[in-house]
Amino acid sequence: MLKKQSVINAQQNSQNAAESARTSSPPSTPSTSWYLVHTKPRQEDTALINLEQQGYMCYLPKLQIERIRRHKAKVVIEPMFPRYLFIQ
């Protein structure tokens, strides 16, 4: 039962993924080029901070997911695409 609720909550939260992004969403103009950056495992936030300090515009979409750990449900915020972020 709890597992079904987790799936439902994850689906609902995926609809709000753009709202949970750390930076603004990428513009839809064709004149700008976006690149995909492959990061070290679980180092997306560190890479995001370092790249923003260097003057790059970055986008890291995140999701709120309900995980079950030790028989308890816990809401965590995770990247939508683990090990990847977008950079302009």
> Model confidence over 62-84: pLDDT tens digits?
999 999 999 999 999 999 999 99
| In the block, residue with structure tokens 């449900």 | 73
Task: Return d(Cα 13, Cα 84) in angstroms, integer.
Answer: 19
Cα distances from 55 to residues 50, 66, 87, in angstroms, run: 9, 34, 10
Indicate the SS3 state at residue 33: coil
**20-69 confidence digits (pLDDT tens):** 444 455 555 566 899 999 999 999 999 999 999 999 999 999 999 999 99
**6-21 confidence digits (pLDDT tens):** 444 544 544 444 444 4
Task: Return d(Cα 11, Cα 9) in angstroms, integer.
Answer: 5
Task: Return d(Cα 76, Cα 83) in angstroms, integer.
Answer: 17
pLDDT at 21: 45
